[in-house]
A and B are shown apart, each in its own frame.
Chain A
Amino acid sequence: MTDTDSTTTGPLAPEDITADSPFTLPGFFDALADGQLLAARCTECETHMLPPRPACYGCGSRAVTLAEQPRTGEVISYTSVNRPPSAFDHLAPITVAVVELDTSARLTGRVDAPLDDVSIGDRVELQVRDPETADIDPDFDLSYEEEWPVHVFELL
């Protein structure tokens, strides 16, 4: 993966931390809504982190940069949420998985498939859905989350 135009190779400066920067949640979800899945990549140890953050949990370095992520990855584990939180009740049962993208970044997400169709090692692709299509009760969202997209995995 090629890095984006971020030149960050050391600690973020206070002025770098704005709602436009993908190092913040608003910036990360804006980019996702535009079709870009951005992780923080540690330039010291190559750990990839979603969502991006100012420091690496792998080695402690703040020399992090942004790296666009592939949409494809592999199911590491999975289950079904049979009794979800209220805002997701109408979606039950919800298949969820931990997915490792091809850069080794890992994230949890819904899988758009019945539980019985999923296995460890399955290849999946991340899809970005707008909040309406994702079908979560709008009452769930905090005021600043209302426009944020939701990611869902589809089996390949």
Chain B
Amino acid sequence: MPTAHLIAVGSSPLGKTDLPGRDLFSKALAEAFEELPDPADVVDGLYVGAQSERYENQIMQGTLMAEWAGLRNVPAERVEACAAAGALALKNAVRDVRAGVHDAVLACGVEKMTAGGTEGATNALGAAFERALEQRSGITAPATYALLARRYLHETDATERDLARIAVKNHRNAASNPRAMFQDEVDIETAMNAPDVAPPLKLYDCAPVTDGAAAVVVANDEVAADLQARADAVRVAGVGSAANNLAVAERDLTYVEGANVAASTAYEDAGVDATDVDVAEVHDAFTVCEALLAEAAEFAPKGRGIETVEDPADRSAGWTDVQINTSGGLKARGHPIGATGLLQAVEAHEQLTGRAGERQVADADTALLINEGGVADAHTVAHVLTARGE
């Protein structure tokens, strides 16, 4: 089976920007191809993650992004699983390269979330929830995650302050990430005193509404060897995905089983286990998710996922020494829905190639990415990335 390499990455500015979706994509593409020939001379296909056509009244992003990249009459498909769309694009690109269907594929994601204001984003995201009983009860993304958080605080020793510390840690990480939407640190009292969004979740427990795009090039050995200026490409060593139930009511509120299946599958595919992972980007759409995913990825014992904020030496027995969400996570790097899974890959690429600057984790050679869509593990895609030579 051909090996899939991540040979180039790029992202757009993140936040409320004056650029529509296709132009955000152009920014991400321009960075990814800074040191490469034209996309038409490199890739044979494209996948684009995009959550909703409601933002810009545009579907057919496969065709549109291919055109903007100068690709014509190649396979180019939009993929969708709410916020897991970006990782789905990467997964499909990796699958095609591993299967020998294509030598190189462009995986990208884009979302122009601010187009309809907060109300537009709330309504667009609402389509991710089960319609018949849950949407018709008036739920929102913060409310569904608040249902997880309330139960987590009930079943474990964790407190609202523990959740707030996750936001504080992720803002601190973002402050040293030039790509991040938020460059400011936040103190614990500010986070604790912020307005309620859906109790027990407050403003700083929630990832922001973000415009943004990301693009990565996945290539086989030959293309990677031809085009890679440096010998430090990153390998996509493992892939896993799983769909759990759609309705939040019908899932385990304190154990994201689908995420555990996806991560375990990716570990097995890569021939690693949780203790091998040095850095992880996990889907902290809400602070409680970071704790739940640390447990699902088998980094943390049950009920102690909140210790992502601690130095490894200070964590409970049974914890690994992984560093989580060095990018600032969805919370502080930003969460442009369809692009988020690829922004996770961008951070892993920087960590595994030693380009992460102040937030560089020493000797990082294995990364786990977990990207989720719907509420929590309604859909999970996991990737294991390794530095070349591992």
Q: Name A's B-contacting residues (CB within 8 A).
A: 25, 28-29, 49-51, 57, 76-88, 91, 94, 96-99, 106-110, 115, 120, 136, 140, 145, 148, 150-151
Q: Which residues of chain B come closer than 8 Å to A80, judged between CB atoms?
A: 143, 146, 196, 198-199
Q: Are A88 and B138 in contact (CB under 8 A)?
A: yes
Q: Which residues of chain B come closer than 8 Å to A150, judged between CB atoms?
A: 136-137
A28 to B200 Cα, complex, angstroms: 33
Q: Are A106 and B151 in contact (CB under 8 A)?
A: no
Q: Are B119 and A86 in contact (CB under 8 A)?
A: yes
Contact with A along B95-129 (1 / 0, CB 8 A): 00000000000000000000000110011001000
A140 to B138 Cα, complex, angstroms: 10
Most chain-A Cβ atoms within 10 A of its Cβ — which of B119, B138, B196? B138
Contact with A along B240-252 (1 / 0, CB 8 A): 0000010111100
Q: Are B154 and A77 in contact (CB under 8 A)?
A: yes
A100 to B206 Cα, complex, angstroms: 27
Q: Are B147 and A79 in contact (CB under 8 A)?
A: yes
Option from B142, B143, B154 in Cβ contact (under 8 Å) with A120: B154
- Interface residue tally on B, bucketed by range: 20 to 34
Report the nearest A residue to B119, measured CB to CB.
A86
Q: Are A82 and B138 in contact (CB under 8 A)?
A: no
Q: Which residues of chain B come closer than 8 Å to A110, judged between CB atoms?
A: 137-138
Most chain-B Cβ atoms within 10 A of its Cβ — which of A29, A57, A81? A81
Assuming the contacts A77-B151, A83-B140, asked whether A106 and B250 have C-beta atoms less than 8 A apart, the reply is yes
Q: Which residues of chain A come closer than 8 Å to B245, judged between CB atoms?
A: 57
A-B contact pairs, 12 of them (CB 8 A): A29-B132, A50-B133, A51-B133, A76-B151, A80-B199, A82-B198, A83-B140, A86-B122, A96-B137, A106-B249, A108-B248, A109-B137
Option from B123, B196, B249 in Cβ contact (under 8 Å) with A82: B196
B359 at the interface (CB under 8 A from A): no
B385 at the interface (CB under 8 A from A): no
Q: Are B132 and A84 in contact (CB under 8 A)?
A: no
A98 to B180 Cα, complex, angstroms: 35
B225 at the interface (CB under 8 A from A): no
A70 to B199 Cα, complex, angstroms: 29
B367 at the interface (CB under 8 A from A): no
Assuming the contacts A76-B253, A81-B198, A108-B247, asked whether A120 and B150 have C-beta atoms less than 8 A apart, the reply is yes
Q: Shortest Cβ distance from A40 into chain B, in angstroms?
A: 12
Q: Shortest Cβ distance from B196 into chain A, in angstroms?
A: 6
Q: Shortest Cβ distance from A45 into chain B, in angstroms?
A: 14
B82 at the interface (CB under 8 A from A): no
Report the nearest B residue to A57, measured CB to CB.
B245
B59 at the interface (CB under 8 A from A): no
A84 to B146 Cα, complex, angstroms: 14
Q: Shortest Cβ distance from A53 into chain B, in angstroms?
A: 10
Q: Shortest Cβ distance from B157 into chain A, in angstroms?
A: 16
